[in-house]
Amino acid sequence: MMRVTWATDQGSPARPNEDFVATALGAAVVLDGMSIDMDLETGCVHGRPWYVGQLATRLLAGLLDHGLSPAAALAQAITETAAAHGGRCDLSHPWTPATTVVALRVRDQAADYLVLSDSTLLLDQGGRVTALTADGSGFAAADPRVAGRALTGSVPLPELRRAALLTDGATRAVDAFGLADWPQTLATLGERGPAALIEQVREAERSDPDGRRWPRHKRHDDATVAYCEFPAP
């Protein structure tokens, strides 16, 4: 059994939230759409939030098919989303919508995971916390072959106590600001929930609005967290 709670927060009222979270019985996905200047042409008439939502829901459906590996489910979702553009978009455009991906699904006695680009997956296996983040290359866009670059694996379900799927806007307290570590992040999620973790990041950002203490490209970024608990039988 996997119990999931989640929260997402828009980084700026001037642009839509390009993160997306989707959950179903035994699976969760979190995506972080690649942000670019709002004035740049992308070749897509639909926009990045549409693309991220389309890919996320198709990936979630694929993960529920236990005959597909997470990488195969992602490749299938990318192919289906490309077709959903309906031939109206230039998917070869260098700024065609793209996204990071982190996914987790439960099957039998294992939990399968996938991480593509710089979102983070935290796994708590009996008190041993592991943070999994792929490099910044290979954003999911329109080429299903990118699924082969994802970090994938499985962990025994009986060992797994907690997990968290986080976009980089939600991990700033650890990897950008140095205000917490990964075990403390999971503790905050367990005690106060995903919205409280995001608010912790927002408080730090508001304390340094000009980026003097913590230089960064955006004052606030979209932030999304899905927190998963695995109660002991």
Sorting pLDDT into bands at 50, 70 and 90, what band is 36?
Answer: confident
**pLDDT confidence of residue 80:** 98
**pLDDT confidence of residue 138:** 65
Quick check: 2 and 190 in contact, CB under 8 A?
no
**pLDDT confidence of residue 51:** 95
> How big, in percent rounded to 5, are the helix, strand and coil portions of the chain?
30, 30, 40
Quick check: 3 and 229 in contact, CB under 8 A?
yes
Summarised one tens digit per residue, pLDDT across range 84-118 is 999 989 888 888 899 999 999 999 999 999 999 99
Across the chain, mean pLDDT equals: 94
Sorted by sequence, the CB contacts under 8 Å of residue 123 that are 6+ apart come out as 113, 129, 130, 132, 155, 160, 162, 163
Sorted by sequence, the CB contacts under 8 Å of residue 6 that are 6+ apart come out as 21, 23, 28, 30, 194, 224, 225, 226, 227
Summarised one tens digit per residue, pLDDT across range 121-153 is 999 999 999 999 987 656 989 999 999 999 999
Q: Which helix (H) or strand (E) holds 50?
A: helix 48-63
Of 107, 31, 16, 19, the C-alpha closest to 63 is 107
Long-range contacts of 76-80 (CB under 8 A, 24+ apart): 76/144, 78/140, 78/141, 78/142, 78/143, 78/144, 78/146, 78/147, 79/144
Summarised one tens digit per residue, pLDDT across range 207-221 is 999 999 999 988 999
Q: How far is CA 223 from the centre of its chain?
A: 9
**pLDDT confidence of residue 94:** 82
- Unique residue bearing structure tokens 């499985």: 154
**pLDDT confidence of residue 140:** 84
Rounded Cα distance between 17 and 13, Å, is 9
232 pLDDT higher than 80 = no
The CATH code of the domain that includes 26 is 3.60.40.10
Domain range enclosing 57: 3-229
Q: How many domains does the chain have?
A: 1
Longest dimension (CA), the chain: 52
87: tokens are 């031939």
